[in-house]
Amino acid sequence: MALQRISAWRDRYADSASVAIDCTADLVRCQLRDWSGPLNDDELVLMYGMALVRFVSLITERKNRRKPRTMKMMARKLNIPEWLVNLRYKGCEAALEWLKEEYCARQFREDEETDLKQQEDDVLQKVEQFALESRDLLIDVLLEDGFLVPTIEQLEALGCDTSDSASPTEPRVPQTFLHLWLPLLKMVSSPSFIHLFLEKLFVKQKLLTKEPNGHRAFYISAWISEVLLCNGNKWARMKDRIFTDRIQLRWLHLIALCLDAPCISMPHLLQLILDDMEH
């Protein structure tokens, strides 16, 4: 009803009171939208700020055409409270803050995420390329202490059982530690990598046969076990597998390597190789 009456005034007085009528209409619209409740607090602040800034600017501009004066001087002469004049600056700050949060910050986050994803992709490509060109060196590094053979401190930090004697005859890599290395191993586990990986694991195992501390030997045997089980157990969960497609292993060569590196887990590893041959 109020907006209809304002529209009637505009038609009746034409341009003689158009500024005041337009400002009144803007402010009434703000109140109506505020009362109806479709806007949140930030949107209401911006809406009221813009209407009030428009009111101050239009009213003072009309009185300021003949003899230019400052906005505050004109407002004072028209009995407009000074805080209404200052509101335009607050409205500007609110608008800039909104733009910063809703656009600039969001755009910055999106750009940052895109850059981070690109950097991750670049790193993965370099790792894949390195694994392809220098897999021999990569496997040697992985078999050093602190990598695929964890230290006691690393196991404690991961919350893993540090007792290797729990199942020395059928060793398995602790799930938490296995999942730590799965992303890298899945990325580089081509058939040629797996063949060389198994061969180097057995060679490493042979070097550890006379080592009094069985910690290293346990984890070397455990990784052999994980690879063989991955190839032979089609029911294993996909997220726990180093590779998904079955590989035609060099069984006779693996049997020879296994027999050449006797250890407490040798019967178990031989059985895994023979089971895999049956497929």
Where b means 16+ CB within 10 Å and e means fewer, 20-54 reads: bbebbbbeeebeeeeeeeeeeeeeebbbbbbbbbb
Residue 214: its pLDDT value, please?
Answer: 85
For position 202, what pLDDT does the model report?
96
pLDDT at residue 38, rounded to an integer: 67
State phi, psi for 263 to the nearest 5 degrees: -160, 175
Q: Each residue of 170-209: b (16+ CB within 10 Å) or e?
A: bbebbeebbebbbebbeebbeeebbbebbebbbebbbebe
40: left (phi over 0), alpha (psi -120 to 50) or beta: beta
Closest alpha carbon to 231 in 182, 195, 188: 195
The C-alpha angle with vertex 222 and arms to 217 and 224, in degrees rounded to 5, equals 100
Per the CB < 8 A criterion, the answer to whether 279 and 232 are in contact is yes
User: What does the block give as tokens for 55?
Assistant: 């009111």
pTM for the complete prediction?
0.57
Mean pLDDT for each 10-residue chunk of the chain (279 residues)? Answer: 56 57 72 73 72 67 53 66 67 67 72 79 74 84 93 89 71 92 89 94 91 85 94 70 89 94 93 87
Per-residue pLDDT at 68: 46
- The whole-angstrom separation of Cα 73 and Cα 45 is 26
Q: Report CA-CA distances (Å) from 222 to 54, 153, 199.
A: 75, 19, 14
CB proximity list for 21: less than 8 A, separation 6 or greater: 6, 9, 10, 13
- Closest to 205 in 3D by CA, of 190, 215, 195: 215
